[in-house]
Structure 1
Amino acid sequence: MMIRNWTMLLFVASIHVGCQSSNREDKVADSLGKETEILDTGSDEIANSSQSLENIAAIQDAYVATVDNRKAGRLDSTFFEYDCDGEKNGRVVYFSEEGQLVLIRHDYGEYSHQEYEEEYFVRDNKLFFAFEKATSWTFESGAAEGATKDDVTETRIYYQNEHAFRCLQKQYVVRSKSLENPIPEELPNKELDCQKASSSLATFQLLIARRENPTNDCLKKAD
């Protein structure tokens, strides 16, 4: 993100060196934000169906339909950006299909070394799937000059009637100078207590409220 890029440039200038899923469920969830990994499951037909999102398979199909439509440019979008006195800044994008909100994407950074990606998938104004990726990066002590280390946590939350019923998480480390970094989509998910999912729903509701008032005022992270 912009914050990291600026920090890295300052570091480079000061030292004059250069910086530099195994199953269907994992594959569906891991394709978030990766336009080359869209699954071909007849998403046009799914998108036009009125099937109830009563189980994981239905949620996955609805997710794939939205991702496929976004890739194909069939979704309309609006966005706003905000800044919290330089300590936190971000961008919120609302994607809609035929006037109906289907996806919210929120990217933001905090305190230079914290980066977040969030995607909230919507049907009939209700959240049915959320993806959150949190990255904390540092310059790696004892490694080559300019080397960084990313500690990454990805969380996937399935909702029914806006109640989380299945939550998955994976954690991994990416080193900028390593040739043996993990491949995130090949890492297994672990079951997670869904109690923490309340913050995801609260953030989604905050973003929904800001859709009607897209100012650049500070957007506070939900607790």
Structure 2
Amino acid sequence: MKNLLLISALIFTISCKDEKDKNVSNSSNAISSKVKSHSLSLENDLSSVDGIKHEYSKVNSQLVEKKLDSVGFKYECDEISGNVVYYSDKGVLKAIKHFQADSHFSSTENYFVNEGKPYFIFKDDTVWSFDGGTPEKPITKDDVTEQRFYLVDNKTIQCLEKKYTLRSNATSNPQSENVPNKEMKNCSIAELQKTFDVLMKNKERRGDVECTDGL
């Protein structure tokens, strides 16, 4: 009888200890989960220019290293040819690249996306024209305009622009990274937002299409 009481007391003690350890473990896991979740939210903070730059840099590195899945389509519309590429990571859309051109103009729009909304847009436009020379050996120049838009909830918090010219006969042309950015006076993204909406609407398209409304 005495041994039975001792065994019962021992089992009760062990049970209490296991329950306590379990509670401590659950509490520790909950704290760890909160810390991890908080850490992730900080890592992907897209409410500031610095946070957007960090996320853009990460996704752009994946693009350069070809680590993202890609699908898209090409189109012809009113003498303008273009193509659209959608980049995703494990089924989650990360970026859209939209290129279009005619005989003297080309434009590339890169939309970096989080939860279906753009947080950074990089637009690169080039207009080329003849700039002297001879019919046999003409000189051309490219007038380049780069625009960068930092967005929070579809509203710009900063927009930058740089312009420079590239000449075919120049021994040294300006490099984009050496041209200073200037704050834009007009930060409207109304037209870009319309284009983005059309791109999202057509994200299931594949192959070649005649014309896409809005592009």
Question: Structure 2 CA distance, aligned partners of 1:73 and 1:184?
Answer: 23
Give the TM-score of the pair, scaled to structure 1. 0.72
The counterpart of 1:204, out of the listed 184, 196, 203, is: 196
C-alpha separation in 1, matches of 2:139 and 2:203: 39
Q: Higher helix fraction: Structure 1 or Structure 2?
A: 2
Q: Are 2:162 and 2:180, in contact at CA under 8 Å, matched by a contact in 1? A: yes
Secondary structure of the corresponding residue to residue 96 of structure 2: strand
Q: Which residue of 2 aligns with 1:75?
A: 68
For the 8 Å contact 2:141–2:165, the answer to whether it is kept is yes
* 1:151 CA drift (Å): 0.7
User: Contact (CA 8 Å) 2:144, 2:164: kept in 1 or not?
Assistant: yes
In 1, the alpha carbon distance for the partners of 2:213 and 2:127 equals 19
Whether the aligned pair in 1 keeps the contact of 2:120 and 2:150 (CA below 8 Å) is yes
SS of the residue corresponding to residue 122 of structure 1 reads strand
Q: Distance in 2 between matches of 1:194 and 1:220?
A: 26
Is residue 189 from structure 1 mapped to residue 181 from structure 2 by the alignment? yes
RCO comparison, higher one (Cα < 8 Å, 6+): 1
Q: Does 1:156 align with 2:148?
A: yes
Closer, same or farther: CA 202–175 of 1 in aligned 2, 3 Å: same
Q: Equivalent residue of 1:147, what SS?
A: strand
Q: 2:137 maps to what in 1?
A: 145
1:61 Cα shift?
A: 0.7
Residue 113 of structure 2 corresponds to which residue in structure 1? 122
Distance 1:194 1:53 in 2: 22
Separation in structure 1 between the aligned mates of residue 139 and residue 214 of structure 2, nearest angstrom = 30
Report sequence identity in percent: 35
CA RMSD of aligned residues (A): 1.9
2:57 alignment partner, one of 42, 45, 64: 64
Query: 1:131 is matched with which residue?
Result: 122
8 Å contact kept, 1:166–1:194? no
Other structure's SS at 2:209 match: coil
Give 1:183 shift. Answer: 1.3
CA separation in 2, counterparts of 1:175 and 1:184? 14
CA radius of gyration, larger in: 2
Question: Does structure 2 conserve the Cα–Cα contact (< 8 Å) formed by 1:168 and 1:192?
Answer: yes
User: How many residues are paired up?
Assistant: 173
Deviations 1:46-72 (A, max 9, x none): xx9333301011000100110111222
Between Structure 1 and Structure 2, the one with more strand by share is 2
Moved more, 207-216 or 153-162: 207-216
Q: How many Å separate the matches in 2 of 1:153 and 1:71? A: 22
User: How many angstroms does 1:77 deviate by?
Assistant: 0.6
Tell whether the 8 Å contact from 1:151 to 1:171 is kept in structure 2 after alignment: yes
Instruction: Tell me if the contact between 1:81 and 1:90 (Cα under 8 Å) persists in the aligned partners.
Output: yes
Q: Specify every segment of 5 or more residues in structure 2 that has no aligned partner in the other structure, as ranges.
A: 1-38
Between the aligned partners of 1:221 and 1:177, the Cα distance in structure 2 is 37
2:55 maps to a residue whose letter is A
